[in-house]
Amino acid sequence: MPQTNTTNFISVTLRMQTGVQLALFLTLTIGAVYGETGFFLNTRRVQENAQPIEAEVEALVRSSFYAADPTVVTIPRWLGNISSPEISAVVSARLQQQDSNIISVDLSEANDESEIIDSVASLVIVLSNHFDMPLDRILVVGFAEGAHLAGGVAAKVQQDLGRQLSQITALDPSSGAELDHKLSQADAEFVEVVHTNAGGEGTWERLGHVDYYPNGGQTQPGCTTDSCSHERAFELLAEMWSPENDFVSARCGSVETLSASSCRWSTHKMGQKQEEQPASGIYFLETQQSSPFSRGAYFISFL
């Protein structure tokens, strides 16, 4: 080969290698900056050691996922992971009551809101399209910032499928000021919200069809810190989902009138599943400072 052609060949080869190296560098850099959303699966067959899974058909088929069981997707606080207490609380509370697929979202390496929403929505869409799972058998639970991410996921699912998720359960949502998507009634057919540290790590803002404010929604019995009251939201889940749920609630006119004497008591219980949705609005109830939290008949005289 003539020397000129050889030189040109080497030059082109080096440019190609440099281009590949640059593309790889950019890919790794983007991955490092934005991270990835992880998924872990718990079922009654795999309660202790959650299985890592991906939002792909083959990965789900090879896991303990069982399409005949309902699914709960649980999203933790910002940068939360499967060791976060809200994740453990959801897994334990749900599996105590019924066979379910609990898919926990790991945000420890994820810090881009759009990537998180797209990833979780893709998982839900895989369940719907490839496993014939009706959207009314998929519950999305979010804690703190995870509540707003849950709303974003539901909105993305509706955009892509043209159908709404049946329910979102939001546990002491943050203000959402740092996020692009804020949870709202429009995100799912039914959005229930539990406020336990409003004005602290949570928000006073009404975000759902039904917003519960246990003990006034700001400070919880037995708590001396915002963190304690904030985390009380997911500690209430086990009783909310139990057949023995006794969180009798009263409907109030506004957050300014949250009290036992100012609200209208009903037979509705916080978190109770009914054939018909409870009347939209703001609800007050009182709890104990430790489990069992419900006070039940304590205020029956107000009914």
Reported as type and span, the H/E element at residue 285 is strand 281-285
pLDDT at res. 170:
98
pLDDT at res. 299:
46
**What long-range pairs does 239-244 form, CB within 8 A, spacing at least 24?**
239/271, 239/291, 239/292, 239/293, 239/294, 240/93, 240/194, 240/270, 240/271, 240/272, 241/93, 241/94, 241/96, 241/97, 241/271, 242/96, 242/97, 243/97
Task: Kindly report, residue by residue over 62-104, the tens digit of the pLDDT.
Answer: 999 999 999 999 999 999 999 999 999 999 999 999 999 999 9
Residue 26 has pLDDT above 70, yes or no: no
pLDDT at res. 273:
75
Residue 301 has pLDDT above 50, yes or no: no
Q: Where are the domains of the chain?
A: 38-285
Residue 19 has pLDDT above 60, yes or no: no
SS3 272: coil
Write the Ramachandran bin of 217: left for phi over 0, alpha for psi from -120 to 50, otherwise beta: left
Task: Report whether 75 contacts 149 (CB < 8 A).
Answer: yes
Residue 302 has pLDDT above 60, yes or no: no
Question: Six-digit token pair at 241?
Answer: 């989902």
Cβ count within 10 A of residue 11: 10
Residue 239: pLDDT band (50, 70, 90) is: very high
Q: Indicate yes or no: pTM above 0.85.
A: yes
By percentage, how much of the chain surpasses pLDDT 70? 86
Residue 140: pLDDT band (50, 70, 90) is: very high
Candidates 278, 209, 222; CA nearest to 248 is: 278
- H helices present in the chain, as ranges: 3-34, 57-61, 85-97, 113-130, 145-161, 226-235, 237-240
Residue 141 has pLDDT above 90, yes or no: yes
**190-194 β-sheet, strand order:** 51-53, 38-42, 101-106, 71-75, 138-143, 167-171, 190-194, 210-214, 281-285, 248-252, 264-269
Omega before 292 within 30 of 0, i.e. cis: yes
pLDDT at res. 2:
52
Q: Residue range 239-259: average pLDDT?
A: 94
- Please give the C-alpha separations between residue 223 and each of 51, 165, 232, 282, in angstroms, as whole numbers: 34, 34, 9, 23
**Pairing verdict, β 138-143 and 264-269:** unpaired
Q: Residue range 261-269: average pLDDT?
A: 91
The total number of residues written for the chain in this structure: 303
Percentages helix, strand, coil for the chain (3-state, rounded to 5) are 40, 20, 40
pLDDT at res. 25:
41
CA distance 77 to 110: 12
CATH top class, domain 38-285: alpha beta
Mean pLDDT rounded to a whole number for the chain: 89
SS3 98: coil
SS3 48: coil
pLDDT at res. 32:
39
CA distance 227 to 125: 34
